[in-house]
Amino acid sequence: MSFQELETILHPRSVAVVGASVNTFSFGYSYAHHLVEYGFKGPIYLVNPNYPEIVGLKTYPSVRDIPGPVDFAISCVNASQVTAMLEDLAEKNVKCVHLYTARFSETGRQDAAELEQTVLTLARRKGIRLIGPNCMGVYYPQMGLSFGFNLPKDSGPAGMISQSGGGASGFVHLASLRGIRFSKVISYGNGLDLTECDYLDYFIQDRETKIVLLYVEGVKDGRRFFDTLSRAARVKPVIVMKGGRGQAGSRMTFSHTASLAGSFPVWEALVKQAGAVSAGDFDELIDLTVAFRFLPQVTGKRVGVIGGGGGPSVIAAEECEESGLEVIPIPQDMRKELKDRGVNIWDWISNPVDLSIVAGSGVTDIDMLHLMGKHPAFDILMANVNEWVFMTLASDERFLGMKNQVKNHISLRDTYPKPFVVIFGERGVITGEQDNWRWKVIAEAREELIGAGMATFPTFRRAAIAVRKVQEYFAGLD
């Protein structure tokens, strides 16, 4: 499929929900609600013969009763009703149908698989393209298309292709809490007609998308996938997460989306050879997206670290090194500068910087970050805001100083062109603690960092792994 064909599909002038419902537990209700809530600008046609209106919109007894043409349709009817629905939609010159409808080949039943092929044959004969079946479809906030409640209505540069629907919806929400916004997300399920390769090919040319994320359980055409992935990774970062890596996961991929998982070691080698970046789980997929989105190009591995106290600094150093970054010693000319400034720990201070020895020394953690920021020996800066120390060891007055720390980090990021990462934990709050005013301050501080576009991570290990993989990606382009 050409870029322009898919571009036309993703910019419908009108949308129909066939099988719209008043049942708020059903997706026939959800899709109708989302079109209104997210502000789709064109005509919305809801098809249900039993109710005069749904979500405040007029309904139509059948597709044939819709008064105008339909560009895009969302199917919420049973699998047995899909062929008749396609016949009717063809009369409305529909270009594409999103089949939320499931219970096809993923069931493992022969009759369901045969019905799926009948649907494909009919759609091709009628000139209708299919997204799905067994999928959540399209989240495109700029167009007013959504498949989830409480997802951001503003757009961003990340595009996602996901074989999982629930995974895509949950991922958009969790990534949004880290500052990520999306251009388009396409959940494609069984991929009966349009496959991961069609969408990946589209995202290569899509100017709204700067980073491509891919969750896949299996591919239809290995050679085409490798070629498309290789082309995409040369144009923009592509982050790939594979589902179905073990025996149990492989069994689940078939019952989930009728996908054959294949060998995971072969898959890993394929992704690496294509120049894409692998993510082991959804947390890492978010971490990598944050790193690509908010950091300038990472060109080296030498990192300067504000580790926190003594123990956290030791752990930070180990986690950075284990991830492939280089925690270099403080350069001698920097020590001399500290000595000339009268810093009494000039010969003791190290990298990572231990905040427990900095107090009263004549230098602060922010001073050290400025020295590292301007020194050519350091490629990357990492700073631990140490919110748990603030929570447990700081007086009320010192605790409120966290807000100034946040502002200082944002200012420092804006001063130097180097990648600058902030570690700000995400430890859970249990019942009885949520009313503690300190948790509110911590939440506000994290929100300010993320709102300012800081690359913010919950741990040094997760930050270091993401930064190292980003550095390897850019090194592979040379």
Are 227 and 199 within one domain?
yes
Whole-angstrom distance, CA of residue 61 vs CA of residue 47: 6
Same domain, 39 and 81: yes
Same domain, 12 and 35: yes
pLDDT of amino acid 233: 98
Three-class DSSP category at 130: strand
Neighbours of 332 (CB within 10 A): 8
User: Tens digit of pLDDT for each residue in 397-436?
Assistant: 877 888 888 999 999 999 999 999 999 987 666 666 777 8
Are residues 227 and 363 part of one domain? no
26 — alpha (psi -120 to 50), left (phi > 0) or beta? beta
Q: How far apart are CA 231 and CA 385, in angstroms?
A: 39
Cα(146)–Cα(140) distance, integer angstroms: 6
Listed residue (446, 337, 330) closest to 386, CA to CA? 446
pLDDT at position 255, please? 46
Pairing of strands 72-75, 277-279: unpaired
- One domain, residues 90 and 177: no
Same domain, 86 and 115: yes
Q: Which two tokens stand for residue 152?
A: 């951001």
Average pLDDT of the residues of the chain: 93
Residues of the chain with pLDDT under 50: 249-260
Please tell me the predicted confidence (pLDDT) of residue 431. 63
* Domain end position, chosen among 260, 293, 326: 293
Is the domain of 328 the same as that of 275? no
> Quick one: 113 and 9 in the same domain?
yes
Residue 302 CB contacts under 8 Å (≥ 6 apart), including other chains: 325, 326, 328, 377, 378, 379, 380
- Alpha helix positions (H), 60-109: 82-91
- Predicted pLDDT at 252: 47
d(CA 211, CA 162) in angstroms, rounded, equals: 14
What is the reported pTM? Answer: 0.93
Tokens 């420092």 found at:
412
Q: What are phi and psi of 456, to 5 degrees?
A: -115, 130
pLDDT digits (tens, 9 = 90+) for 228-277: 999 999 999 999 999 976 555 444 444 444 444 567 788 899 999 999 99
Query: Do 281 and 220 fall into the same domain?
Result: yes
Residue-wise DSSP of 23-64? -TTSHHHHHHHHHHHTT--S-EEEE-TT-SEETTEEEESSGG
Contact 172, 182 (CB under 8 A): yes
Residue at which a domain ends, from 79, 113, 131 = 131
Domain identity same for 259 and 300? no
CA 149, 292, 234, 273: dihedral to nearest 10 degrees?
A: -90
The one-letter amino acid at 46: L
Structure tokens at 338: 């500290």
Query: ∠ CA(204), CA(183), CA(101), 5° rounding?
Result: 95
Measured distance CA(259)–CA(275) in Å, rounded: 24
| Residue burial 226-241, b: 16+ Cβ < 10 Å; e: rest | bebbeebbeebbbbbb
User: Any idea what the CATH number is for the domain that residue 148 is in?
Assistant: 3.40.50.261
Query: How many domains, the chain?
Result: 3
> Could you say which of 82, 106, 131 is where a domain stops?
131
CB contact at 8 A, 63 and 128: no
Q: Report the alpha-carbon distance of residue 273 to residue 64 in Å, rounded.
A: 50
Q: Which of 196, 190, 242 is nearest to 221 (CA)?
A: 196
pLDDT confidence of residue 245: 66
- pLDDT for position 253: 44
CA nearest to 267, candidates 303, 218, 302: 218
What's 140's DSSP letter? Answer: B
Both 207 and 356 in one domain: the answer is no
Which contacts (CB < 8 Å, 24+ apart) does range 355-359 have?
355/306, 355/307, 355/308, 355/309, 355/313, 355/386, 356/309, 356/310, 357/310
Give residue 253's domain range: 137-293
Based on the domain organization, do 341 and 473 belong to the same domain?
Answer: yes
Cβ atoms < 10 Å from Cβ of 203 = 27
Distance CA 364, CA 279 (A): 36
AA letter at 383: A
Model confidence pLDDT, tens digit, residues 370-384:
999 999 999 999 999
